[in-house]
Amino acid sequence: MSAADLASEIHASMELAYMAAQAYKGYSDKLMQLANTPGLSPDQRRKINGMTEAFKEMWKEASEHGDRMRRIWQDLKTVEAHETESPHALPTFRGWTVDLRVKEFRKPKWKRGEPAGIEFLRFDTVQGDIMLADWLRTPEGDKASREGRVEF
């Protein structure tokens, strides 16, 4: 299932949760009005107030569920945007960016969670040649080779 399909299902769940919350609030409001009806016994008022509190709790839970679904849906929309990559995005392999124009692999270096430079690995080195051969065996590398984008 793609992120777009999952986002669509999550959005539907979110909408249902918000609709349920609105219904529970409506029931709660009507019960509160009913509790103020003259002539009710204390026992009837207590039961109605108990139902009112139960609907208020369901309203709160449905609203919170809708809010959680909204956050998940927003996250999935972000993932979906990244699934449709730019046609100019460079391929990656084993954490390295593959740049066919300059014939090198690049990977950011990190130190204690902070950027600490960029590591370069040229295709014409022994290690770079091995990694390039491995990348060319992937579907993306094979496609680039067939399209003539890889020069040896």
pLDDT per residue as tens digits for the range 38-70: 999 999 999 999 999 999 999 899 989 888 888
Residues 22-34 have a mean pLDDT of 91
Residue type, 32: M
Helix (H, G, I), strand (E, B) or coil at 67: helix
Helices first, then strands: H and E counts in the chain: 4, 4
Taking 70 as the threshold, does the pLDDT of residue 19 lie above it? yes
Structure tokens at 130: 């091995």
Q: What pTM does this model have?
A: 0.47
Residue 68's pLDDT is what? 86
CA atoms 93, 99, 103, 104: torsion sign: negative
Mean pLDDT of 2-28: 83
Count other Cβ atoms within 10 Å, centred on residue 4: 14
pLDDT tens-digit readout, 84-142: 556 678 888 998 999 999 999 999 888 887 788 899 999 999 999 999 999 999 998 99
In the chain, domain spans: 3-83, 92-146
